[in-house]
Structure 1
Amino acid sequence: MSTAPARARRFVPALALLLLPLVACSEEQPPPTYSGSGYEDVAALMQKTLDRRARGLRTHDVRRFRRTLDRADAGLVAEQQTYFDNLTALPVGELRYELAADTITPVEGSEDYWVEVALVLGLDGYDAAPARTRDRFLFTPSADGRRLVVTSTTDHAWETAHPGNVQPWDLGPIRVAQTVGVLGIFDDATVRHAPAVLAAASSGRSDVRAVVGGGPDGAVTGVVVYSVRDPAFLRGLADQTVGDPDRADGLTVAVPVDGTDARLGVSSYRIYLSPRVLDQQAGVLGRLVRHELTHAVLGARGRGAPLWLSEGIAEYVSVRPMAPARRRLPARALDLAGTVRDVPGPAQFGGPDAEAWYAVSWWVCEHIAAVYGAPTLFSLLDRLADGADQNQVVPDVLGVTPAELAQRGVGLMQRTYSGQEHP
């Protein structure tokens, strides 16, 4: 049962007659997942409202969209107007709602019903398949008693138990900017950086593909880049990223086709940029964008491979367009060099010296590319997918142990940067 307050209303005769089997059968409320013949008419009315809501969004028909709302609630109408403005600014290819009728839950003492709803949304040119995300809506009879209208799209308790559904356009006003192959999602504070972000992502796509190739989905070439202040979007990524998402400069976000069924795969890979990095020089921003684009283009390839390789490859690719003298190295990486005995593990990437360990991984990959050729990086990534034992695979592919490989990579890093100053 939701923690949201239930609003008692007097019965509207037309709808009360329609729901008579439900009202008359028992004084006891059914359990939350109850589904029976008494709810079939309720479900039909709800789906009709959802279909009208979806059509209003698809056709940019605000009057049709507003007719699906409880317009007696001014706060709801204002909130949903923002949502309408957000969705109609996106390049929507497919949009529909699906009702989970078996989750219809009456609110005791009222004519309201909670129900779980799935939004099926595909961004044209950016998603390989529409993404299906769940939410929980509250419905109530319309003033004339002929319809059920939406009176809330927020159930905090339910959303806490089902994280990962929120997108930036669900949180508040967004500003959308687009160029060929790049969709940028900003807010009022970050939109001034849109030209620089779009330029970095546009050129970065070509730079990354020149090294990595076209990626697993040849039909989908566009990339979505988020940069918004509200951290609520990141909270749904808990346990899905390395380290703390709130502290990350950039993240690559996998959007599943259906978060409840991993077998259906990924709709798209999107990029998040922290607002705090947007004031960086173009070269620094471009490098960060290329790093995340490398993860996005590789997609599921190498899933389960060790972090030192996947992050090292992303760093290796990110610096390729830069002159060697401009490839910044954290000073801490040189400080750590003498202590490196093996390739880093998850603890190093999540610790206070994470930036330095990223650099160590980068130079391990530089060593592999220099000695064995760049294609070997990707062959090794494929071999180490699905958690394969690196202590067996690395010697088989490279003829050295992971520890020897780490020390050779660090040695190359020291020789390259010896005597140079790096911030």
Structure 2
Amino acid sequence: MGAVVLTRGDRYEVAPRPADVPRASPAAAAAAVASFVDGVDARDAETLAGLAPAGDTDAEERLTSIARNADSLDLRGVTARYVDQVGTVAADGSWTGIVDLTWQFGGLDAEPSRADIAVAFAPDDDGLGVTGFRAAGTGRVPLWLRDELSVARADGVLVLVDGAPAEAEAVADRVARGIGVVSRVLTDWSSPVVVEVPASAADLDETLGAVPGTYASIAAVTTTAGSGTGPDAPVHVFVNPDVTAGLRRAGAQVVMSHELVHVATDAARTPIEPWLLEGFADYVALRDTHLPDRTTLGRAIEAARGDGVPTELPSAADFDTRAPDLQARYEEAWLACRIIAETLGEGALVETYAAAATGLSVVDALRRSGLSQRRLTQQWRTQLRALA
């Protein structure tokens, strides 16, 4: 078809031919993610591998691994809805789209988790193929969408690790011991436990949809598995292997027991002052370790010697994941909770925490138990000064 020549006075204008450039196809993307869901539901490695573009062995292997993960994790409630394109289409026709994904670990998650994930698409002989999953902005990449996972199970416990089976078993052992530690204080606890261990701190950030580096120095975090925050949104423990790999066995156990306190008290959805939230978890985790103060309070002592004894209990800002002397703040919070238990008894500490978890201010919760926050702070400062 020839070009159309337009005339305007003495000027001649030629309408350009439509450029033949690659375009994203929402319909093809929707069909691809529908096939993906079918393959996951059927645990069908062949169907999932068939979504990889011809010749892309990495994508084929990744998709095959997802079929095995779906089986070992008893994935249920998986849905995927194409939402929108992200960025531009590359010269080779590849592009990325946002997909609204839901998933649920059978028998452990009360409801499905939900998150927006970025799916990488590429043209294929039969239409549109899937090449992988990645973080886009604050989007998440659920652990089961990565490589084939090692899985360990016990009654009411699921551990999934992007690593060796021996690591999954070791984490499961820590969970079992941690349940015993927590149950000695929180005797009515019986909720299931799911622990996810990515391959690295960077993968942990992507799994949680966090800015890179957010959890680089954090050993573990207990939070919702997806973006939902409702009362039934699944809450899992996420472990940073880059940090825990450097801990001794006792230290790794304290980390796990600490996180299980958060699971038992639904801390991920509980509005409570961080010093009480974290200090209480450490109190329970350290209760039967019988470690000397120079070990459990080493960073707090060092900080007090260098900067002086703080005038107030740690604030919310002190517990930012990138805050300086973060470990010292945790130790200071633990000391405050230990003082409550020593002064009023362990039962009063538990009652103070429970009252604050219902929305009562910490000041009022302490007063109800028989200790003013001013007196607590004075005793806390006196002990820190003596230790330093």
TM range (shorter): 0.7 to 0.9
Give the equivalent residue in structure 1 for 2:15. Answer: none
Give the equivalent residue in structure 2 for 1:355. Answer: 327
- Is 1:365 aligned with 2:337? yes
Of residues 98, 102, 105 in structure 2, which corresponds to 1:123? 105
Amino acid at match of 1:50: V
Pair 125,325 (structure 1): closer, same or farther in 2 beyond 3 Å: farther
Structure 1: unaligned runs, 5 residues or longer: 1-26, 34-38, 419-423
Higher relative contact order (CA 8 A, sep 6+): 1
- Is 1:170 aligned with 2:142? no
Give the equivalent residue in structure 2 for 1:306. Answer: 273
Secondary structure of the 2:72 match is coil
Q: What is the alpha-carbon distance in structure 2 between the residues aligned to residue 103 and residue 213 of structure 1?
A: 50
Secondary structure of the 2:295 match is coil
**TM-fit CA distance, 1:238:** 7.2
Secondary structure of the 2:252 match is helix
Secondary structure of the 2:270 match is coil
Amino acid at match of 1:360: E
Question: CA deviation digits over 1:266-323, x for unaligned, max 9?
Answer: 2122231433423533322211210111112212477221111001101100012323
Give the equivalent residue in structure 2 for 1:22. Answer: none
Pair 308,224 (structure 1): closer, same or farther in 2 beyond 3 Å: same
Give the equivalent residue in structure 1 for 2:205. Answer: 234
Give the equivalent residue in structure 2 for 1:245. Answer: 215
Q: What is the alpha-carbon distance in structure 2 between the residues aligned to residue 237 and residue 246 of structure 1?
A: 12
Question: CA deviation digits over 1:325-383, x for unaligned, max 9?
Answer: 59932334335287132211134345433322222211211121233233333433344
Of residues 32, 47, 50 in structure 2, which corresponds to 1:67? 50
Q: What is the alpha-carbon distance in structure 1 between the residues aligned to residue 210 and residue 118 of structure 2?
A: 23
Secondary structure of the 2:250 match is helix
Contact 1:308–1:344, Cα closer than 8 Å, also in 2: yes
Question: CA deviation digits over 1:196-245, x for unaligned, max 9?
Answer: 32211112112213312445xx5x4133241522513325657799x941
Contact 1:249–1:274, Cα closer than 8 Å, also in 2: yes
Amino acid at match of 1:207: V
Amino acid at match of 2:180: S
Deviates more, 1:90-99 or 1:46-55: 46-55
Deviates more, 1:337-346 or 1:232-241: 232-241
Deviates more, 1:333-342 or 1:381-390: 381-390
Pair 343,174 (structure 1): closer, same or farther in 2 beyond 3 Å: same
Q: What is the alpha-carbon distance in structure 2 between the residues aligned to residue 328 and residue 109 of structure 1?
A: 58
- Is 1:397 aligned with 2:379? no
Q: What is the alpha-carbon distance in structure 2 between the residues aligned to residue 326 and residue 199 of structure 1?
A: 27
- Is 1:76 aligned with 2:52? no
Pair 72,254 (structure 1): closer, same or farther in 2 beyond 3 Å: same
Give the equivalent residue in structure 2 for 1:254. Answer: 224
Question: CA deviation digits over 1:114-133, x for unaligned, max 9?
Answer: 65322221112332211122
Amino acid at match of 1:176: V
Tell me the matched-pair count: 364
Q: What is the alpha-carbon distance in structure 2 between the residues aligned to residue 112 and residue 353 of structure 1?
A: 45
Pair 345,196 (structure 1): closer, same or farther in 2 beyond 3 Å: same
Structure 2: unaligned runs, 5 residues or longer: 1-17
Q: What is the alpha-carbon distance in structure 1 between the residues aligned to residue 269 and residue 114 of structure 2?
A: 25
Secondary structure of the 2:225 match is strand
Give the equivalent residue in structure 2 for 1:287. Answer: 254
Contact 1:340–1:407, Cα closer than 8 Å, also in 2: no
- Is 1:375 aligned with 2:354? no
Give the equivalent residue in structure 2 for 1:17. Answer: none
TM-score normalised to the size of structure 1? Answer: 0.70
Amino acid at match of 1:231: A
Q: What is the alpha-carbon distance in structure 1 between the residues aligned to residue 244 and residue 122 of structure 2?
A: 45
Q: What is the alpha-carbon distance in structure 2 between the residues aligned to residue 167 and residue 331 of structure 1?
A: 36
Deviates more, 1:129-138 or 1:45-54: 45-54
